Amino acid sequence: EAQVTQNPRYLITVTGKKLTVTCSQNMNHEYMSWYRQDPGLGLRQIYYSMNVEVTDKGDVPEGYKVSRKEKRNFPLILESPSPNQTSLYFCASTVLGGGNSPLHFGNGTRLTVT
Amino acid sequence: GENVEQHPSTLSVQEGDSAVIKCTYSDSASNYFPWYKQELGKRPQLIIDIRSNVGEKKDQRIAVTLNKTAKHFSLHITETQPEDSAVYFCAASRAGGGADGLTFGKGTHLIIQP
């Protein structure tokens, strides 16, 4: 089954404790992206990647890191989480450069930073 | 960069009535406009999309219209049903045709009253 898999689904942590949210897709998509969803603010892009070893900042990259060492994986790293990073996070993937492929979203990770 | 405005933020309609959600975009080069539906606790999923060479597209009870001159597009849902209750996001592609360059609106919470 074609899918984007995120882990964990729920995460509660404390300020300053490094964490990683994993994302993997099995559709051989070149493009992968991370979004955060906050009430009233919609889906805001954090980082995206157009291929292996190619990553770019989205609209709200501060406090986050990503890596793309393999085509299928795109982890989101919070080196020193803060309470304002409490949010619902979605990973997504699609083909690059047009075509009829929609953006495929993972199930989301609800992060709480205390 | 692209900016997408979406209205209203909340829309309540009686079951069986129609619902209309409107979006405007800023980049005249954008030419791909999808709509995503997010049910409570779930991931966003594509429900319909339109490209700039088409003015209107229908799929059963949902339709999308596009006015490139005015830079606005709308989602129309007819004969609304309880399962239409969700958050709807419009988006516009800044990459020239694909889901790999989407900017999202802030979302509309559609409530279907029985």
Cβ separation A97–B6 shorter than 8 A: no
For residue B95, the model assigns a pLDDT of 59
For residue A99, the model assigns a pLDDT of 67
CB distance B106 to B3 below 8 Å: no
Tokens of B35: 């709509």
Instruction: Give the chain A residue nearest B46 (alpha carbons).
Output: A102
Distances A70 to A25, A26, A30, A66, A79 between C-alpha atoms, Å: 11, 12, 10, 12, 21
For residue B29, the model assigns a pLDDT of 87
Instruction: Give the chain B residue nearest A110 (alpha carbons).
Output: B41
The mean pLDDT of chain A is 94
Distance CA B53, CA A99 (A): 14
Residue B99: list chain A partners with CB under 8 A: 31, 94-95, 101-103
Query: How would you classify the pairing of strands A76-78 and A65-66?
Result: antiparallel
Q: What percent of chain A has pLDDT over 70?
A: 98
For residue A97, the model assigns a pLDDT of 73
Cβ separation B106–A95 shorter than 8 A: no
Residue of A103, A105, A109 best to disrupt the B interface, most CBs of B under 10 A: A103
For residue A3, the model assigns a pLDDT of 94
Distances B90 to A32, A73, A79 between C-alpha atoms, Å: 19, 27, 32
Nearest to B14 by CA among B78, B75, B74, B80: B80
User: Taking residues A27-43, what's their average pLDDT?
Assistant: 94
Below-50 pLDDT ranges, chain B: none
A61 pLDDT band, cuts 50/70/90, is very high
Shortest Cα distance, chain A CAs vs residue B1, angstroms: 10
For chain A, say whether B49 makes contact (Cβ under 8 Å): yes
Instruction: List pLDDT tens digits, range A88-99.
Output: 999 999 987 766
Of the two residues A40 and B77, the one the predictor is more confident about is B77
User: Taking residues A20-45, what's their average pLDDT?
Assistant: 95
